[in-house]
Amino acid sequence: MRQLATSVLLVLTAALIAVHARAQTKKAASPTLSFEVASVKPSKPGINAPGVFRFLPDGSLRVENMPVRDVIRVAYRLRSYQMVNWPTWTATEYFDIQAKADGKTSEEQRLLMLRHLLTTRFKLAVRTETHNGPTYNLVIGRKDGRVGQSLTKSSADCAALRAKLPPRPLAPAPNAPLLVCGIRNLPGRVFALGVPIETLSNTLAEVVRRPVLNQTQLSGNFDIELNYTPDPMPAPQTIPPDSKPIDPNGPSIFAAVREQLGLKLEFLRNPVEVLVIDHIERPTPD
């Protein structure tokens, strides 16, 4: 009986191993999600229009005049402070990407397809790590709880403003007044119409290149005007055309948040997940 039981156990074990092996083989054989056709080209020099990134309803991807660093950020749902070891050219050289896919694909599938495109055309190799680094809490900066004159409760009717927009509005000039509720982040200037403080904290995270957690407990939507001197000053080619000149002697972002908004960025150290770029190349011509 003991030998029979042992034989049955061995048979069952072998069967389970075979099933697991078939499952692993099937998983390994699953096709990688990829675009049917893709074109990657350097953008034409001298284009001063804002970059475009758009997934179209038919499953196509349209990228115009964007650095590959920003495309990677979209593909991996990252903020700028979560990218480590990327070469300078990934932020200063601009590309146009056209890709076609089945319109039935989900957003998650399209992002996986975009990652595959980056791997095949830019030879991108990445890994994730957790770094212990600076983070910030955004808090009320005054003991009386009042905020600054550049942070005001908004009376904008966002739905009505959107309804007035033409079907295909032209891209506004960088410093043009906001026609709909939203926020604009320019070198040395952040301004917004009808946005919650959470939107401001997310934008400040891009400016200070560290996570910023909203701890203000301010509710509702706000109009915002924030002017500061970036450190370091941005290269001239990265400043949008027709932007207001940056005051080299103005306040730092930390002083501006405190003086103009009545808020404060409190320094902390916390674990932050980052994407380390091990390898990337300029794409081969189509």
Burial (0-12, 13-18, 19+ Cβ within 10 Å), 19: exposed
Q: If you compute the radius of gyration of the chain from its CA atoms, what whole number of angstroms results?
A: 25
Backbone angles phi, psi at 65, to 5 degrees: 55, 50
Categorize the per-residue pLDDT at 21 as very low, low, confident or very high, splitting at 50, 70 and 90.
Answer: very low
pLDDT at 12: 37
pLDDT per position as a tens digit, 104-145: 788 899 999 999 999 999 999 999 999 888 899 999 999 899
Q: Does 139 or 26 have the greater pLDDT score?
A: 139
**CA gap 70, 68 in Å, rounded:** 5
pLDDT surpassing 90 at residue 208: yes
- Please, which residues bridge with residue 183 across strands? 192
**CA gap 144, 151 in Å, rounded:** 15
Categorize the per-residue pLDDT at 84 as very low, low, confident or very high, splitting at 50, 70 and 90.
Answer: confident
**CA gap 220, 207 in Å, rounded:** 23
Compute the C-alpha angle 136/140/143, nearest 5°. Answer: 130
Q: Where are the beta strands (DSSP E) in the chain?
A: 37-42, 52-55, 61-67, 83-84, 94-100, 125-140, 151-153, 182-186, 189-195, 212-214, 222-227, 263-279
> What strands, in cross-sheet order, belong to the sheet with 189-195?
151-153, 222-227, 189-195, 182-186
DSSP secondary-structure letter at 262?
S
What mean pLDDT comes out for the span 210-225? 96
User: Alpha helices of the chain — where are they, by DSSP H?
Assistant: 2-29, 68-76, 89-92, 107-121, 158-164, 197-208, 253-261
pLDDT per position as a tens digit, 168-188: 666 677 788 888 899 999 999
pLDDT at 171: 67
pLDDT per position as a tens digit, 156-165: 999 898 888 7
Residue with tokens 């001239």: 236
pLDDT per position as a tens digit, 29-75: 345 688 888 999 999 887 666 678 998 888 889 999 899 999 999 99
**CA gap 84, 274 in Å, rounded:** 7
What mean pLDDT comes out for the span 246-272? 94
All residues at 6 or more sequence positions from 181 whose CB lies less than 8 Å from its CB, including other chains: 154, 156, 158, 161, 162, 193, 194, 195, 221
pLDDT at 49: 61
pLDDT at 47: 67
pLDDT surpassing 60 at residue 223: yes
Burial (0-12, 13-18, 19+ Cβ within 10 Å), 266: middle
pLDDT at 237: 66
pLDDT at 31: 53
pLDDT surpassing 80 at residue 212: yes
Contact 162/180 with Cβ under 8 angstroms?
Answer: yes
pLDDT surpassing 80 at residue 257: yes
Closest by CA position to 218, among listed 142, 126, 109? 142
- 3-class SS of residue 159: helix
pLDDT at 59: 80
pLDDT surpassing 70 at residue 236: yes
| Cα dihedral 36, 280, 66, 55 in deg (nearest 10) | 30
What mean pLDDT comes out for the span 79-92? 89
pLDDT surpassing 90 at residue 194: yes
Measured CA to CA in angstroms, residue 54 lies from 48, 96, 185, 229 at distances of 18, 12, 19, 31
Query: Residue 66 has which token pair?
Result: 């964007």
